[in-house]
Structure 1
Amino acid sequence: MSGEKDNAKDFFQKEKDDKVIRYRHLNKFVKKGEILFTGSSLMEQFPIQEIMLNHGMNKIIYNRGIGGYTIPEMLKALDEQIFALEPSKIFINIGTNDISIPEKTKEKLISDYREALNNIKKRLPDAEVFMMAYYPVNDAVAANEAWPGALKAVQLRMERLDEANKAVEELAKEFGYNYIDVNDGLTDENGRTKEEYSIDGIHMWSDAYEVIFENMKKYL
């Protein structure tokens, strides 16, 4: 059984590594100075191009999210995920995987995030940065998921979300960046992601991203 877990972990790591390489090649052809979405899977899965087409918008937005990424992983791929594009606006959603790791402390989350922001401030001093609040989750949906650990990860995330969002908001103030909560309309009366928006308790259908887009389009 442990061998199967190791194989799955190796496969997932290879997927992430391959994505960094693909981005490295894609970045040779970007138009510098545009808008960037970056982070982990919740950003990678944002169908921003399709949504903008539906809204008749013609802004250029590049998405450099990588599913499964933690902040330490992003720190190793800042060139591919951010700097090679030289964006004028950066929307960041990173850290949800970090707060799902039991041994990851709030202090370590803040320290890692601060390191990423220090790099951005140093290398892209004129960029406008938007640090996004973490999205809600749904433990009832996660309970029906086949993959092991889904419910436990969601429950831990639920416990830590408010504190993590406060920490990110404080970091935004520290760096003179923008903290934005675009979650209005995503949750039910209990503060969980609405069931119809939730795929597995963590990730969301495109319907949810339409709601998020309506909340964030004034910042684009």
Structure 2
Amino acid sequence: MKNFNKLIIACMLSLFGLTNLHSQDWADLNQFKEENSKLPAVQENEDRILFMGNSITIGWLNNRPEFFKDKPYINRGISGQTTPQMLVRFRQDVIDLKPKVVVLLAGTNDIAGNTGPSTLEMIMNNIKGMSEMAKANDIKVILSSTLPAYDYPWKPGLEPAGKIIALNKMIKEYTELNGHIYLDYFSAMVDERNGLPKKYARDEVHPTVAGYKVMEPLVEAAIVKALDQ
């Protein structure tokens, strides 16, 4: 009976979201904690580049590890993340690692509502916040366009294509006004539906190797430009 009562109490607490509140890690601050602690200090002539983002960013490392091999590239993508989560972990996963350049790719999960409803203005405010933090710490900023998406397989029917176009316009205008670099993946990958074709992403959201091969020369050109600023 005692164990049954404990089970009932645990279920009730879980129902109201009251279990283990202090152990929750909403922004995944522990995801890279150990890797960050083991990362060597930046060398004097090292052009460390930090890739910050979601599943598209970490999927790059998983699917195309050779692109990152023997380069001063650090990948800090976390699957499913939205811009408020990235903003929370931006200091520990970007600034404290002292890169010369940060490449930010974000926004699609916000539009999908992964952490709740989000307006384009809310997304931009988070992107601006990360950009301002980077700039204040002498880190060059590359803001990537959000990749095309006609629909989200995990949340169909949201019709994200138009929102992505509008968000990318906002990102581009912000980079032009603030001296950052706009990295336009969208134009190189979009199809006639304003979506991501299956040749670049089987689920039309997450790039395949072919998709990443389109992105790689674009990001490398942006990195060269940022380092030359």
Whether these two folds match at TM > 0.5 is yes
Conserved in 2, the CA contact under 8 Å of 1:138 and 1:194?
no
Alignment-mate amino acid for residue 164 of structure 2: L
Report deviation, 1:23: 0.9
**Paired letter, 1:80:** Q
Q: For 1:86, which of 98, 102, 108 is the aligned residue?
A: 98
Is the alpha carbon distance of 1:171 and 1:59 closer, same or farther for their aligned partners in structure 2, counting shifts above 3 Å?
same
Secondary structure, counterpart of 2:162 in structure 1: helix
Asked if 1:177 is matched to 2:180, the reply is yes
Whether the 8 Å contact between 1:40 and 1:94 is mirrored in structure 2 is yes
In structure 2, give the amino acid aligned to 1:201: E
CA spacing shift, 1:15–1:92, aligned 2, 3 Å: farther
Per-residue Cα deviation, 1:3-30 (whole angstroms, up to 9, x for no partner): 9xx99xx9xxx99769532411111232
What is the Cα deviation at residue 42 of structure 1? 1.4
| TM-score using structure 1 length | 0.77
Task: Give the letter aligned to residue 196 of structure 1.
Answer: K
Amino acid at match of 2:201: S
- Measure, in 2, the Cα distance between the counterparts of 1:52 and 1:110: 28
- Distance between the aligned counterparts of 2:192 and 2:182, measured in 1? 24
Task: Give 1:216 deviation, angstroms.
Answer: 2.3
Residue in structure 2 matching 1:60, options 50, 72, 81? 72
Query: Across the two proteins, how many residue pairs are aligned to each other?
Result: 197
Give me the whole-angstrom Cα distance separating, in 1, the residues matched to 2:29 and 2:140: 24
Partner of 2:32: 23
Partners of 2:183 and 2:222 within 8 A in 1: no
| Alignment RMSD | 2.9
- What's the CA shift string for 1:164-218, capped at 9, x where partnerless? 0011112222332111103454233433212122232321212200111122222
Tell me which residue corresponds to 1:137.
Answer: 149
Q: 1:36 and 1:15, CA in 2 relative to 1: closer, same or farther beyond 3 A? A: farther
Work out the percentage of aligned pairs sharing the same amino acid: 22
Verify: 1:38 aligned to 2:52, yes or no.
Answer: yes
Given that residues 175 and 181 in structure 2 are in contact (C-alpha distance below 8 angstroms), is that contact kept between their aligned partners in structure 1?
yes
Structure 1 segments unaligned to the other structure (5+ residues): none
- CA–CA distance in 1 between the matches of 2:170 and 2:71? 31
Counterpart residue number, 1:217: 220
Runs of 4+ in 1 over 4 A off after TM superposition: 14-19
Give unpaired runs (5+ residues) of structure 2.
1-10, 224-229
Query: Do residues 152 (structure 1) and 157 (structure 2) align?
Result: yes
Rg (Cα) greater in structure: 2
Higher RCO (CA < 8 A, seq sep 6+): 1
> Aligned pair 1:111/2:102, yes or no?
no
Q: How far apart are the structure 1 equivalents of 2:87 and 2:143? A: 16
- Whether contact under 8 Å (2:53, 2:78) holds in the other structure is yes
TM-score normalised according to structure 2 size: 0.74
Pick from 65, 85, 88 the counterpart of residue 49 of structure 1. 65
Alpha-carbon spacing, 1:19–1:105, altered in 2? closer, same or farther (3 Å): closer
Distance 1:202 1:80, change over 3 A: same
Cα distance change on mapping 1:15 and 1:206 into 2, 3 Å: farther
